Amino acid sequence: MSYKKVYLNSGKEESLKRFHPWVFSGAIHHIDGTPEEGEIVEIYDAKKQFIALGHCQIGSIAVRVLSFEHEAIDTDFWKKRIAFAYQLRKQLKLAANAENNTYRLIHGEGDGLPGLIADVYGNTVVMQAHSPGMHVARYELAEALKDVLGDAIDNIYYKSESTLPYKADLGAENGYLIGGQNVSSIALENGLQFHVDWVKGQKTGFFVDQRDNRGLLEHYSKGRSVLNMFCYTGGFSCYAMRGGAELVHSVDSSAKAIDLTNENIALNFPENSRHRAFAEDAFKYLEQMGSQYDLIVLDPPAFAKHRNVLKNALQGYRKLNAIALEKIKPGGIIFTFSCSQVVSKNDFRLAVFSAAAQSGRKVRILQQLAQPADHPINIYHPEGEYLKGLILAVE
Ligand code: SAH
């Protein structure tokens, strides 16, 4: 199998030699031929030595590397990578488990498939392409997914209308690539049921990445008054309820999120008098609330999507955490998160440190949190690390 060839400028192969999976457009000397958006290309250094194979695209990331070996990128290649990823999820007891059928099966670079996300909800896979190459390969990928997962799934829903680079103009349409008749939108996470709306919901419909952290929250919940700020589908709220919280208040600015939260609470706790949900802006709610809570979750959307707004984002995290730290009851616990990839673990910790100092409270870090094992980080691609959090004890 031979593909069109991309030649790099002298010295620009360095990061690839350390297995970083991206080629930036500035590194390219010339290309033999004119590959289409998403076509597979071979990458060579200035001395014409083969380095890697990948999907090309227009933009600052010009190639996303699929393999550092010269091999065919075909259905067997996809199957091999998907099977490897599935095996890990089975080892982790996330798949083929009567208590849990919600997990991330493919996490882009972390699973050797740059530009591809696949989340599993019961018998449905929600597949999302973030690169033109994965969009072009979508039918092959769907076939490979079905082959590997077999009877474990019936449906593959493709959702890439808003995740592909708009310049590519690929006309991606959301819809089922496989199945679509036998769909159950109730997924199980650690024995709790969640209604997942992948068609209208954010991302693939659910934030799978907080599963382990929700599990931890459950252990802190007994007898506490819980505020779940930025609740979305009410994930943390359901775990707090199961953990025996005295009351749980869920807040999100989106009315649709509040409906989903109420639905999920009702699904798991038909006697739901301990829970209430409010559609309100976070800062407004925090400013107006009293000191009734002794367990607060702060899981905001990414405050910084680009490096140039990093400073503002850090101010945002400081301000948010400062209000919670000022108002939480003595002896309270805060679960605080950042999912901005450009905000490092240290940046975030510094923002929370400033908030603590501003509040004047005694604050201890009980645990440092991160993304779970079904969101693996390719060690050569540190950009894959995005979720960080702290459990704080406030005196
Ligand atoms: N904690 C959730 C995920 C949170 S996603 C989980 O475990 O699933 C971030 C949420 O913040 C989204 O639902 C979004 O609607 C909400 N949001 C964004 N801006 C907000 C604001 N200013 N005030 C309150 N909620 C906001």
Model pLDDT for residues 336-380, shown as the tens digit of each residue: 999 999 999 999 999 999 999 999 999 999 999 999 999 999 999
- Check whether 383 has a pLDDT greater than 90: yes
The rounded Å distance from CA 213 to ligand 1 centre is 16
Contact by Cβ (8 Å): 171, 132: no
232 close to ligand 1 (CB < 6 Angstrom): yes
Distance separating alpha carbons of residues 377 and 275, to the nearest angstrom: 36
Q: Which residues contact 179 (CB under 8 A, 6 or more apart)?
A: 124, 153, 154, 155, 156
The rounded Å distance from CA 302 to ligand 1 centre is 9
Q: Which residues contact 88 (CB under 8 A, 6 or more apart)?
A: 373, 374, 376
Task: Provide the pLDDT for residue 74.
Answer: 95
**Proportion of the chain in helix, strand, coil states, percent, rounded to 5:** 35, 30, 40
In a mutational test of the pocket of ligand 1, which residue from 104, 204, 214, 230 has the highest number of ligand atoms less than 8 Å from its CB? Answer: 230
Distances 276 to 94, 183, 216, 266, 365 between C-alpha atoms, Å? 30, 30, 22, 11, 29
Mean pLDDT of 41-49: 97
The rounded Å distance from CA 180 to ligand 1 centre is 29
66 three-class SS: strand
pTM: 0.96
Residue-wise DSSP of 258-317: HHHHHHHHHHH-SS-TTEEEEE--HHHHHHH--S--SEEEE-PPPS-SSGGGHHHHHHHH
Domains in the chain, please, with CATH? 4-67 (2.30.130.10), 75-189 (3.30.750.80), 207-394 (3.40.50.150)
Task: Provide the pLDDT for residue 304.
Answer: 84
230 close to ligand 1 (CB < 6 Angstrom): yes
- Check whether 252 has a pLDDT greater than 90: yes
287 close to ligand 1 (CB < 6 Angstrom): no
pLDDT tens, position by position, 51-63: 999 999 989 999 9
The rounded Å distance from CA 8 to ligand 1 centre is 42
The rounded Å distance from CA 285 to ligand 1 centre is 13
99-103, 136-140, 198-202, 207-211, range with the lowest pLDDT = 198-202
In sequence order, the β-bridge partners of residue 50 are: 44
Task: Provide the pLDDT for residue 96.
Answer: 86
Mean pLDDT of 205-215: 97
- Check whether 167 has a pLDDT greater than 70: no
Task: Provide the pLDDT for residue 255.
Answer: 97
281 close to ligand 1 (CB < 6 Angstrom): yes
The rounded Å distance from CA 277 to ligand 1 centre is 13
User: DSSP state, 115?
Assistant: T
282 close to ligand 1 (CB < 6 Angstrom): yes
252 close to ligand 1 (CB < 6 Angstrom): yes
- Check whether 68 has a pLDDT greater than 70: yes
Contact by Cβ (8 Å): 7, 31: yes
Q: Please state, rounded to an integer, the average pLDDT across all residues of the chain.
A: 96
Task: Provide the pLDDT for residue 168.
Answer: 62
- Check whether 395 has a pLDDT greater than 90: yes
Lookup result for tokens 């999100």: 252
- Check whether 1 has a pLDDT greater than 80: no
Distances 313 to 213, 284, 318, 345, 392 between C-alpha atoms, Å? 23, 18, 9, 14, 20
Task: Please report, as a single letter, which amino acid is at residue 144.
Answer: A
Distances 330 to 248, 294, 325, 395 between C-alpha atoms, Å? 18, 7, 10, 5
The rounded Å distance from CA 235 to ligand 1 centre is 12
264 close to ligand 1 (CB < 6 Angstrom): no
How many other C-beta atoms can be found within 10 angstroms of the C-beta atom of residue 251? 25
Give the chain's largest Cα–Cα span: 70
285 close to ligand 1 (CB < 6 Angstrom): no
Contact by Cβ (8 Å): 245, 219: no
Task: Please report, as a single letter, which amino acid is at residue 150.
Answer: G
The rounded Å distance from CA 232 to ligand 1 centre is 5
For residue 161, what are its two tokens?
């209308």
Residue-wise DSSP of 137-202: THHHHHHHHHHHHGGG--EEEE--TTTS-GGG------EEEE--SS---EEEETTEEEE--TTTSS
More confident residue, 307 or 206: 206
